[in-house]
Amino acid sequence: MKVLFNLALPCVIFRNLYNNKTLDLDSLYLFIGGIIFQLCSGIISIFVFWFVKDKTIKKLSIFNSLALNTALFIFPVMSSVADDGISKTILFCVANDFCCYAVLRPLYAVLGISQNKGNDAFETDEKKKNLISTQEEPMTEIKIDLPQLPELTNETQQYKIIEPNENKVTTTAENQAGYYSFLKKIFNEETQKIIKETLRAIFTCVPLYALVFGYICGLSHIKVPHFIIACIDVGANANTLLSYTVLGIFFEWHIPLKYLWPSVRVVLYRTIYGLIYGLTIYFSCKPFIGDVARFVMLVSPLTPPPLIDTIYSVEYKVSPVDIPILINNLSIIVSYVVILLLMVILNPSFN
């Protein structure tokens, strides 16, 4: 997985962007289209899965409705369909990459921490119950006679009693308590850890650097030495084989049937929403968007969810991890069938 993500995939991105010497209006449409797709997907999924009773399944359903696995799934397809297919797909996936690292990782981290806290609290309660039940004898009561103190003289003096403003004191105390609790939530160790891990994932993302340097070298017409280009070609040519190998490794069918319907529900949502979005763009934007760009916006939304859903579930100990795995498995099969049918029915030509 690391070889594919840190070597083969960056080579594919750099090679295609290096050969792309200009940016046209289609590039802008693809970039904006990717942002609109991700935003609408997240907002609509909240309403679709809002009435799911199990809170964990509801959150996992929303998380797995976001992002796309275009790098492993659609890059090999686009490389055989059009010469600039991958470079167009990369532009559509800029918002998708941001969603994968800056949105999904914190969401899974928060869910995993909340689940682990609940488990720790449950274990603590069980320990307390066991401790109470193991007490063999109750504690005996010891009475101690205290000596009598001499009576104090009751001297009455006139004092002036100043009554405080109770409303003001209560309001000030509540504001201070709310302010400090808000600061604790923001600056606690768990939040800082999530922020650090998210930033580290973004700044250590090798494909992101390949994206930046590929555009800089391509648009600035900077010549890269032939030896480096040859090495990049070797790494890029291995992407297709490695992609399908990784997709096959993540297949797992020994999953309880109780997770089948929640997973099917997410796959149906992703497929229906992807078809509506893609077909709308493909047929309504024909006058002002090129054929390749429209085809990218047609098939990219139909790709499966990214494998990082499963990786984050394992990393942050989110349970049940079977749901992201089953969603990914079902989505791969459905995506292959739907994209194949669309290519047969529409028969796109990019001459």
**CA separation for the pair 324, 306 (Å, rounded):** 10
* 104 domain-assigned: yes
Owning domain of residue 26? 2-117+183-346
- Total number of domains constituting the chain: 1
Instruction: Please indicate, yes or no, if residue 292 is contained in any of the structural domains.
Output: yes
Q: What is the mean pLDDT of each run of 10 residues along the chain (351 residues)?
A: 72 84 84 92 93 90 89 78 84 84 82 72 50 53 55 52 54 59 64 79 82 87 88 81 70 79 94 96 91 92 88 82 89 91 82 57
142 lies in some domain: no
| Closest residue by Cα to residue 269 from 11, 43, 21, 6 | 43
| C-alpha torsion angle, residues 214, 215, 221, 226 (rounded to 10) | 10
Write out the two tokens for 44.
Answer: 């609509």
Per residue in 43-75, pLDDT tens?
A: 999 999 998 989 889 999 999 999 898 877 888
Q: Does the residue 135 lie in any domain? A: no
Q: Which pLDDT does position 39 carry in this prediction?
A: 92
Whether residue 143 lies inside any domain: the answer is no
Residue 263 lies in a domain: yes
User: Does residue 311 belong to any structural domain of this protein?
Assistant: yes
Q: What is the pTM of this model?
A: 0.76
> What would you report as the CA-atom Rg of the chain, rounded to the nearest whole angstrom?
30
* Residue at 299 is within a domain: yes
Residue carrying structure tokens 């904006």: 32
Report whether the peptide linkage leading into residue 320 is cis, meaning its omega lies within 30 degrees of zero.
yes
